[in-house]
Structure 1
Amino acid sequence: MFKKKPNIKPLSPLKSSDRRRTADQIISDFGIEVPVDQNATLEDKAASQAGLTALRRSLLPENALSARFTTTAGPDLKQVSGTVYAGSLEGSGDEVRLLWVKVGERMYPTVYTLWNNPRILPLLYTPLAVVEKLQGGADLMTPGLQRGPPFPPKAKKGAVVAVASLESPTVPMAVGTCEIDISALDKVQGVKGHAVQTFHWAGDELWSWSTTGKPGTDPPEYLGGWADKEDEDAGLATKTQALDIDAGQEDGGVSLEADPTQRSEAEKAQGLEGEDIPTNKDFIEEVEDKDLTTKEIDEAFRNAFLYGIRHHMDHNKDHPTYGLEFPLSQSNVMSLLVQPFLPTYTPARTASLQIKKTSWKNIKKFIKYLDKQRIVKSKDRDGNEVVIVDIGFNDRHVEAFVPYRLPKKDTPASSGTNGKPAAPLSAESSVGQKLRLVSLLRPRDKLAPILNASKADPKGLYTAAELKQILKAYVEAENLISEKNKRLVNINPQIANSLLGSSAADNTALTAGTIARDALAERFISSCSLFHTILRNDANISDSKPKAGEPPKVQIVLETRSGNKTVTKVSGVEAYYISPQPLADELRKTCAGSTSVDKLVGSSPKNPVMEVMVQGPQKDAVIKALEKRGVSKNWVEIVDKTKGKKKG
């Protein structure tokens, strides 16, 4: 629910009487047992009161604050309002986090409260792949429920429950409301429908909120209070590690059958499409060693296109054209209907499955082929491009197509503080990545004598600091430091020829026979060609291929269309390891508006730059989505054409 940042009014201290009353209501609503000293007698009311006071403080600390909030939720952007309760829990220092959210008459604990108050909610389990989907805003489907039946007796329809992954069963990661009576289920396989409507999760805007602007706290690795006998069983860990869970599929659960090569009804109902591919090592080696023929590559592209159609039909059933807006450009056909569905199980297959290696050689001829097969209708546009104007959704080829298991997506192993794994936010590989932009310099030929004298590679790439050290070593080796002033360097023929020109400042330096060290270093660096490289996660400069010129910037352009409608365009994200289509998909959900991906006008036909367009003035949402992918604001350029001026 809280994918979008709620508007929270200023917090105010909660009165002691209100805090106690609110805590007591929570204890009553959730049926929380009040701890009592086992050694105390039943008549010892003081012991009972002490336990109640401690429980109240654990649920709502004495420093508790409250405030009203508003937000929007659902496809209709329905306005939701309520109250948030914040405070610093024991062991968190003075860090204030949101602890409870009240909407209507119902209270919801945040994950921070659950991590500090075990067993206050019924706990449900599902695979980590499904938890990651819940953290994207999806609901938990019934086939995704695991470790049952039986399920917790309190998990009845309308009850607030917590959800943890099978891989970390003692750490609740999401909070939601039961859509059905889960406690009464006697099976989950073959049962369709929603089980839990997700309200809050580790990674949303409630989790990330703080009074100091600090990011959300990483989930703990283990919480003993939530453990039960099954969690202590070593066999559970062995079973979990043996599972082949595909995190790259659509929303929902996966099968935990003993045989991972068989798809369960739960997997199908939860949205995991297609037949399984064998996952053993021998199969992978066989695929890598086998070169694909042109016929096999053609078949893979044709099947990927059919898969793309079926995918849109299954996930956009209420849309008249299943979420596809015609005419479809060549780039949209590739990004929406082909690339995401290619069976690129190994690096070798990825290298083979290129459009230029098909018998058609390019996407234009591929679309013409589909037209001849009467799967689509196409027409020429602008003389050099073909667009799809219609698709035969009832075509026999589409109806007869059998989906296959898609390759797993590569998710980065991002880490949080103190080496703990950060809360996963998405299955997309660029989310959570860490980027470093490194500026490098290559000395021009005229500087070769100085570098050779310093035993440095004249064709090498260096940082500015490294070049200054090379120049310092050269000056010291040639004994060029002025005896009168250590900040001056005596000019020798090599420096004069390589670094000094005919400007007035240079003529003055030549006349004096000395030049300031800092000025000489500036001339040395300015006499180099600029290069750059963008390093991802733990990549090393030695493994990268630096590119000439200044580092690229992501362009965000706001412009007006159709009179008074504003659109936001984003381009240049590919250089930062970001795929435009998943970015567009996220922005469509975040901004609750339509998005599209198309080739940037004027970009190279051989290496096209894609442009994501979002309806409305969505600059802030785009910047936030880029920051989630490691892009600094300093690497973004904003052009606001709606005001006729440029902003930095």
Structure 2
Amino acid sequence: MFAKAFRVRSNTAMKGSDRRKLRADVMTAFPSLGTSQVSELIPGKEELNIVKLYSCRGNAVTVYVSGGNPILFELEKNLYPTVYTLWSYPDLLPTFTTWPPVLEKMVGGADLMLPGLVVPPAGLPEVQKGDLCAIALVGNRAPVAIGVAAISTAEMLTAGLKGRGFSVLHTYQDHLWQSGHKSSPPFIAPLTLDAPELSEEKGSVQSDSTLQGVMRGLTLEGEEEEETEKSPQICGMESPSEASDDPTDSRTHQEKMDELLLQCFLHALKCRVKKADLPLLTSTLLGSHMFSCCPKGQQLDIKKSSYKKLSKFLQQMQQEQILQVKELSKGVESIVSVDWKHPRITSFIMPEPFQTSQEDDREQPYHPPDIKPLYCVPANMTLLFQESGHKKGSTLEGSEVRSVIIDYAKKNDLVDAYNKNLVKLDPVLCDCLLEKNEQHSIMKLPWDNLLARCFEKLQPAYQMTFPRQEPIVKKGKICPIDISLAQRSYNKKVTVVRNLEVYGLDPCSVAAILQQRCQASTTVAPVPGAKDSLQVQIQGNQIHHLGWLLIEEYQLPRKYIEGLEKAPKPGKKK
């Protein structure tokens, strides 16, 4: 229900009479809660708000917010607790257990299918069709989702745990959870073992093959898990191809990837990320810093770690108080602070290969490329340039083109004897420089007109040379950095920048700098219709900041930047 963003209709403070009514409704809906627990959940004096909203499906939902966290939501006159409430009262609802990979599918809006359930030794909780249930993950009793049972427990067992089991209403990490403090689930020890123990007894339901079969049977509504090769990793085992070459190393591939992930993270914070870089996009931390800290011969793959996602790993680091992550703009997380005095960072020792090349590891400051305009000889002008040793497709500088034309005119005695400023046109010059309707009317041309026509007929090209790199020659006109303004919803303006890669600029790094200097949200996304090009989008009209960054900081010539004239004009002095 809250897998996509919702629209808030109103947000008002709750009156005392409404609080009393809500307490009564909670005690009716959840009789297992005592009076003191209901009073704690719905306090009498602390701030309590009623938020009325429309879900992405158009449902009218009432959400009750206490202390900044949504604690209850009401749909069609039925009360439901949020995950924040269930973390304080984990036994409020009958709880079913599933595997961690299933959570990602439920967050995306899928219902929970019965093959994804883990049957504990004590059996499944007894529920009837339509009962409200909590869903937790293996090894932690803290609920991560709330759903309604599609069938009773008896029918689940009769069906052989196949088919749809629960209609999921709300999950950890959905948009309702994001409207609160975004805290992670606490660890609540299971009352019983959530997963059957592995056994070597013949015919046991707790056998390794059965457990793998359950993992392969994870199915959500409308989709099946086809990647069966991931099952051994989920079960905490290595696949044969990922087995360690060292027979004395008993760690699994997943544990090794967790260690490599932590190593690259600490290395990046200790050596690459600086206070001036904050706030730093989490994607930039990974792409521009952590990947480059990976030791030679190894490959960092977060999907093969126990975290599966960078956001989950950073949540763990945030719980250890190493850093703080905030969503400065919708859907874009940034690192806003780092505790560089944290024992994890101060005690981290860089691997040997990096200790000997710290100077090489430091990011080199940006130097603009040297751009030189060139001219390419087309097929229809080959005769004019072949006497100088140039053929079709040859590239020349402007001075070389002038020398070729002057030498050609002098060798063929085309300079007018009475007026040295005029050049007589022979058949080659006529075919190369004149239009068809001009060939019988124009016999001579001034030098400046002759050269101008020649440059117009030649095809444009350019040579770009970056520091410590070989020159690159490309045909066509060089694409300037394009700065434009676009209108988004609610008449909000955004600044869009394209073609940064042409000049050797990393769009992610530029976005991070602009986010800090403009104090506005930035996003990096593919350019529509282009395969290998990215564009940076900044909230508001930030063209003056962009102009300063590109011209003053990066020293790029103004002629290679388009759109600077759209910068906001300063207000009139009163």
Shared fold (TM-score, shorter chain, > 0.5):
no
- TM-score of the superposed pair, with normalisation by structure 2: 0.44
- TM-score of the superposed pair, with normalisation by structure 1: 0.40
Which structure exhibits the higher relative contact order, with contacts defined as CA atoms closer than 8 Å and separated by 6 or more residues? 1
